[in-house]
Structure 1
Amino acid sequence: MHVSCCSPDRLSKIMSLSMLSQEIIDEIVDILQDIDSLSDSDDDDNSESFQFSSYALISKNFRPRTQQISFAYVIFRFSKNDSSSVTKLRDQRNMLERNPKIAGYFRTLVFFVKKANLWTFDHPDFIRMMELIAKASKGRSHPQLDIEFDSARIRPRIPDHSAQRVLEVIGPHVRNLDIHGIDNVPFRWIADCSNLVKLDMVRISLAKNDPETTPSLLPRLHVLILSWPANYIATIDRLTKFALDPSCLRKFQTEFEDELCIAGVGPVIKACRSSLEHLKISCNEGRLRIANLANLSEIPNLKILSFKIDLSWEDHDDALEDLCALLNTSSNDNKIEEITLELHVVANRRPGVGALGRVAEYNWRMVDSTMVRLSNNKKLKIDIQIYYFYEPESDLDENELNDINEGYPNDQLEGWMAEQLPLASRRSHIALHAKFYRV
């Protein structure tokens, strides 16, 4: 839309807005952004707010702030290697070359990866765009770019020796890197991000080749989140050998499918024991055996612990005793501030027994004394989350099924906790919290 096409009334509104100070204009644009994010474009009642957003786009005074918001989160979508996609890629490159300031507004770049668009990441126009973004980021004192590699539904596999240079230039400016649902991930995607702070990887597999990397130049992460990778133990080993340095980790969060994968966790904890503050471990299937996971007294700065524990197994040792064995390795002067227990139970394992009754069968007396010792008269938050689900095909009569459906209301948990943790519940410096979830 050109201003010359506006009605006199609309033109006068635009001219009035342009007379405002830049500070006020920036505040107005911020408010418009909030309105647009909450509004439904099909709602006639919001037509004025959308019309006002269009004024912001055509007013010169509104343009800088609007562009800053619009280009903060950029999604790169490409399809198969045809003339249309190649033209689109070239146009985006030309846009950044003509308007280099726009590249400086980028904060989050999202790359949707699928088999049909892998050509993009090796194309000269794409590499040039990454160079322009890196050039615009050079003046910043700290890395501010967040990169997300994501796959829609089918996990694509990166061909060997392909897409190696995606982050070669912008890597030093990347702060957070997410890689979700991609196979044969090149080590360079991580290793090139020399100032990386956080790495989040979900359902991935790493390339099988051994890259030539310099250990002293690998990124020293603060946060590592690794969920359900293929070949868990091998992935951990190769990740810490060729892609990153775990010695400075402050948070390590990991989730795996099988109890045998716990063997891969110990070496990471050992590598970052002097810096680790937050540890979260979840096992989807099987018993989480953690008694010999680590000596917590060797992790002096540990503050937050979180465990997902499956209590649906009949033929196993007391899972809570196993947990206490680990917690009791901590020293009396520990810095632990918060412990979260995510407990999962299944109804048809013990028909007719309610969720709290099922959970109460474990050694809570040991948990009680352990938590009191851990607190050592300092503040300690204990959060217990009980997930209770049943399988409809189980042989339950109608009355038992009704008991399960009613469950236990959350307002009964306070009394239950006082009964199971009598010592901790009487300590004013220990904050107990529990919630019941029916799955």
Structure 2
Amino acid sequence: MATSPCSFERPPILRISQEVIDEIVDETRLADLLSLSLASRAFRPRSEKHIFASVVFFQVGSGWSKTARVKGFIEILSRKPYIAGYVRELHLGINERNQEWMVENPGFIKIIELIRESASRFPHKKLELIGNTLGMKITDSRRFSKSFCAPFLIPFLSSLCLDALEDVPLTLVTDCPHLKIFDLARTTFGALDLVKIMNTSQSYPQLRELRFDQCTQGMDTLLRRGVPGLPPIVNLSKLRKLETNICWLENMGFLRDLLYLSSGSLEELHIFEFHDLSEWLDLGTLFHLHVLHVDILFTGAVDELPHYTPGLISVSKLLTTIPSANTLEGLTIKIFLGNFWARPMEVGRGNWASLDHEVQRLSSGKPLDFHLHLVHDTSEWNGDYPESEHTDDDDSEEEEEQDSNSYKNGHPITAHDIKRALDERTFRKLVDKKLPMIRCDPNIMLHLIIDPYHRPGSDAPLTILERFGSFGSYDTG
């Protein structure tokens, strides 16, 4: 009996084009990639590229021994050596017990060698070193630099993150010829080599992005503040993106220096936890600034703080330093409410008029993307803005809409979803009333976002524990 041709057809999953498969994998959450790769071999190659893009060693609280971690990854690389080429980011938690082990254990060194060898085909690697406790000291910085960093990491590093460390060898920064992205937080550098510091002929890394926070000694060293007349140890003439948290007052002085040094190139500026220090900053010399992101703490009890400039006024004063003829394309203002700041119901009392005027002036007839982001403490949130308009007719319309849309994406809408929708609706009505110039300007694209409370500055890069859990990139810890 003849067999039907249909019986030889490939399964539907195998008839999908490679472009569609790649898009499915790329849009899948990292936590779900392992399950996706097991569902069909078609998804496996692309999934592996994402899963092994970041490798985490020595995570705090891990139940694995160092030997088991290394053995497991070695077994993977022995079966699939090409995976070493997928590793783009190496994240190492530093503690007192693993520093010597990192430069002595043959298995770990073998892993680093394989990653280094793949750098000839897949350059631009990222290294993240984070102390497992604040102020973790590099016990033998010279050995750490010569035996581990110099041969295996420095030649191909394009991105470096140092956090919660002491006595980091300065050569880890100065000797990286391809370093473009640098993240420095709560870190100090080791005893300085005065000959190297005074060497004006050395070619230092030319940074494109810099983020710093709470690292006075580290920034003093990078900027060579103690050696007048000499340029910084890193080249900032082509810096394009700068991020800092100026709640830490000493960061303000460094920010001013960096704005001066990068005034001819800076395109993005992110300021977290901005408050009443607007008179310290002048953005008028940033002739290529395209993106400005500012976090502000909304303060309602101004009478109790006579020397404190309210957040909206403070950020408006900062915007006045940008000339009307500017290159700004995107502006994000994130407002934090609740908890020990102003109660959410006080948001309508802010000086919105000054913000309305300045944002409209900055547009000056050219397109401007304006993101107004409200972040609130849900325990204090009741959607009750002063002067907000709320009618019974509006309530009935919303109730009818909620009844007809009781399911969203196949899931039942919860009371929290309804409450958030009401909050956002109320916020939109307040914005319509308080920001008429922005709302009526056809050149300003206004994006309103409302979210529950999260830590100010959380857009900044996260630590190992915050970024990776039991899922995520390949976690050896």
Residue in 2 that maps onto 1:307: 294
Residue in 1 that maps onto 2:212: 226
Superposition pairs for residues 299-338 of structure 1, below 5 Å? 299-312=286-299, 314=302, 315=305, 316-338=308-330
Residue in 2 that maps onto 1:268: 258
Residue in 1 that maps onto 2:468: none
Residue from 270, 285, 296 that aligns with 1:280:
270
Count, aligned residues? 383
Q: Separation in 2 of the partners of 1:101 and 1:75?
A: 18
Once the two structures are TM-superposed, the CA of residue 390 in structure 1 deviates from its matched residue by 8.3
Residue in 1 that maps onto 2:427: 413
Once the two structures are TM-superposed, the CA of residue 102 in structure 1 deviates from its matched residue by 5.8
Q: Separation in 1 of the partners of 2:99 and 2:253?
A: 35
Deviations 1:72-108 (A, max 9, x none): 44344499xxxx9689879989998999866444322
- Does 2:383 match 1:362? no
Once the two structures are TM-superposed, the CA of residue 158 in structure 1 deviates from its matched residue by 1.4
Tell me, yes or no, if the aligned pair for 2:291 and 2:328 is still in contact at 8 Å: yes
Are residues 317 and 155 of structure 1, via their aligned partners in 2, closer, same or farther at CA, if it must alter by over 3 Å? closer
- AA of the residue aligned to 1:219: P
Q: Separation in 2 of the partners of 1:78 and 1:385?
A: 33
Residue from 136, 139, 150 that aligns with 1:159:
139
Superposition pairs for residues 138-149 of structure 1, below 5 Å? 138=120, 143-149=123-129
Are residues 436 and 32 of structure 1, via their aligned partners in 2, closer, same or farther at CA, if it must alter by over 3 Å? closer
Using the size of structure 2 for normalisation, the TM-score is 0.65
State the identity %.
Answer: 21
Q: Separation in 2 of the partners of 1:78 and 1:389?
A: 31
Deviations 1:214-272 (A, max 9, x none): 56422111111224x243xx432323346522221111011244345322210011111
Using the size of structure 1 for normalisation, the TM-score is 0.70
Residue in 2 that maps onto 1:383: 371
Where in structure 1 are there 5+ consecutive unaligned residues? 1-15, 57-61, 393-399
Are residues 50 and 130 of structure 1, via their aligned partners in 2, closer, same or farther at CA, if it must alter by over 3 Å? closer
Tell me, yes or no, if the aligned pair for 1:259 and 1:283 is still in contact at 8 Å: no
Q: RCO higher in 1 or 2 (8 Å CA, sep ≥ 6)?
A: 2
Are residues 219 and 127 of structure 1, via their aligned partners in 2, closer, same or farther at CA, if it must alter by over 3 Å? farther
Tell me, yes or no, if the aligned pair for 1:226 and 1:253 is still in contact at 8 Å: yes
Residue in 2 that maps onto 1:430: 444
Once the two structures are TM-superposed, the CA of residue 40 in structure 1 deviates from its matched residue by 7.8
Give the aligned CA root-mean-square deviation in angstroms: 4.5
Are residues 424 and 93 of structure 1, via their aligned partners in 2, closer, same or farther at CA, if it must alter by over 3 Å? closer
Residue from 159, 170, 173 that aligns with 1:190:
173
- AA of the residue aligned to 2:188: L
Q: Separation in 1 of the partners of 2:47 and 2:166?
A: 37
Q: Separation in 2 of the partners of 1:430 and 1:112?
A: 44
Superposition pairs for residues 116-265 of structure 1, below 5 Å? 116-123=97-104, 125=106, 130=112, 133-138=115-120, 143-152=123-132, 156-161=136-141, 162-165=143-146, 166-169=148-151, 170-202=153-185, 204-211=186-193, 212-213=196-197, 216-227=202-213, 229-231=214-216, 234-241=217-224, 243-265=233-255
Once the two structures are TM-superposed, the CA of residue 122 in structure 1 deviates from its matched residue by 3.2
Where in structure 2 are there 5+ consecutive unaligned residues? 1-9, 225-231, 386-415, 454-477
Report SS of the residue matched to 2:448.
strand
Q: Separation in 1 of the partners of 2:219 and 2:111?
A: 32
Q: Separation in 1 of the partners of 2:242 and 2:56?
A: 28
Q: Separation in 2 of the partners of 1:419 and 1:128?
A: 64
Residue in 2 that maps onto 1:114: 95
Q: Separation in 2 of the partners of 1:209 and 1:78?
A: 28
- AA of the residue aligned to 1:146: K
Once the two structures are TM-superposed, the CA of residue 373 in structure 1 deviates from its matched residue by 1.4
- AA of the residue aligned to 2:363: S
